[in-house]
Every structure is written in C-alpha cells, then in structure tokens.
Amino acid sequence: MLIVKKFRYLCGTKPDCKITIFFCRMQLNLPEHKFKIKETAHGLVIFDELRTRYVALTPEEWVRQNFVAYLITHKGFPAALMSNEVSMMLNGIKRRCDTLVCDNHGSTLLIAEYKAPSVAITQQVFDQIVRYNMVLRARYLIVTNGLQHYLCTINYEKNTYSFSNDIPAYSEIAIK
C-alpha cells in the first residue's frame, strides 16, 4: 500500500503562498530515495528523471522510480544510457519496455520489467520480459516488484541462462 502524507504550510510573507510536501511510503526492498512529487487535478505525480517529466504516481511507477534510482545511485548505472517506457513493435503490436539500459556502444545491455508490490512475480511476468527480449536481445533481464528482484543473465553463444537475486554494478556488466 502506498501511504501518502500531505503537509501544507505557509511560505514567505504572502498569505496566499503555500507549499505542499508529500511524504510517500511504500515499503520496498530498496534503499530510500527522495523524489519530486506533486499534486495535480488528476492525482499525485512523480518526476521521472529519465523522461524529464512528471508521470502518474501508481504503485508500479513507485517501484520503477525507486529501482532506477537504486541502479543509478548504488550500482553506478549512467542515467544517460537509460530510458523508461521504451516503445517497440512485437508481432505487429506496439509494446513498451519498462526500462532499457544500453552499453557504451549503444547496444541493449539490460531490460527491466516492474510490477506493483502487490503483484507476485510469476512465470507470466518472466514470459512477458522474454517476449520483449526477442526484439531487444539484452544480455540481462531484471524483474522486480520492489520486494523481490530477479536477474536473468543470458549467454547467447552457449544458449544458456542463469538466475540471480544479486544485481551487479554497471561496471561489472558493461562492455568496455
């Protein structure tokens, strides 16, 4: 459950100047990070640093923003090589990959699929990211609901794959 506490207080000397601060808490298995969140007529929105715009704050978006912040801040992933909500065509149907990370040569290195914390990570979730990877051909696939994180490493030369719960640093997986 996403818990949002809203605090309003007066700022400056003008009586009509008010600042609203939102404290969002949804317990995730990720380090805490500060985000820009504001209220609009359509509900709460969160600033997406990769898309450089505000997007609707849903439980899945909360996981995405926290996981992307984790990759950048704690695992050294360069934000300039990352994109959120990447469009692609899959069997003639337009789909969106949640997060795509490129290597220094512009090739797809990693893709991530996010689910809300209330959504179990099932075979269907892995099937979804594998279908996306038929188009994108990433070496690393991440699936997370913010509570559980799974990394699948694909070795295309040997036609093998392996799973891990440990997310490596960018420097460990990037092609130099």
Instruction: Give me the amino acid identity at 136.
Output: L
C-beta neighbour count of 20 within 10 angstroms? 11
12 with 18: CB under 8 angstroms? no
Cα 137 to its chain centre, rounded Å, is 19
The chain-wide mean pLDDT, for the chain, equals 87
C-alpha to C-alpha distance for 12 and 108, rounded to whole angstroms = 48
DSSP state of 75: H
What are 166-176's pLDDT values in tens digits?
999 999 998 75
Alpha-helical regions (H) of 3-122: 59-75
Structure tokens at 65: 């923003």
pLDDT in tens, 75-93: 999 999 999 998 777 778 8
pLDDT, one tens digit per residue, over 108-161 is: 999 999 999 999 999 999 999 999 999 999 999 999 999 999 999 999 999 999
